[in-house]
Amino acid sequence: MKRMDQINVIPFIDIMLVLLAIVLTTATFIGEGRLEIRLPESASQTGADIPAVEIAIDAEGGLFLDTEPLPIEALGARLAALDRATPIMLRVDAATRFDRFVAVVDQLKARQLDRLTILTRKS
């Protein structure tokens, strides 16, 4: 019988490469965002480079402040605590009723939060 003095590491390397591929694939899905919001299309699109407070409205009209579910009645109190120079990113699903969008914009205007960016997809 032949004596084994070395460990065969090739199967170990194969397993590690498969695990690396799984981690990298999963990481791209995590970076996309947690809320399922289908943004409307626009001919011009600008990127948001600075950190901002994110307000999102999903297709059912649910309101989220930085991914935290929030009733529309509580939005005013949360916005009142923000500085007027705070940038706001508004993500609204294309299927959302327009009155929900207007209600959020009214809340922002009432508190003079005018650094607003509305996110869209490039058409």
Phi and psi angles of residue 119, each rounded to the nearest 5 degrees, phi first: -80, 140
Better-scored residue on pLDDT, 122 or 32:
122
Tell me the per-residue pLDDT of 3-13, one tens digit each, with 9 for 90 and over: 777 888 888 99
pLDDT at 96: 87
Bridge partner list, 64: 56, 69
pTM: 0.60
Please tell me the predicted confidence (pLDDT) of residue 59: 87
What CATH class does 41-122 carry? alpha beta
**Of 69, 76, 62, nearest to 108 (Cα)?**
76
pLDDT digits (tens, 9 = 90+) for 75-112: 888 988 888 888 899 988 888 888 999 999 999 999 99
Query: Going by C-beta distance under 8 Å and a sequence separation of 6 or more, which residues neighbour residue 39?
Result: 91, 92, 93, 94, 119, 120, 121
47 pLDDT exceeds 60? no
Q: pLDDT tens-digit profile of 13-34?
A: 999 999 999 888 877 655 555 6
pLDDT of the residue at 29:
59
Instruction: Calculate mean pLDDT across residues 54-79.
Output: 89
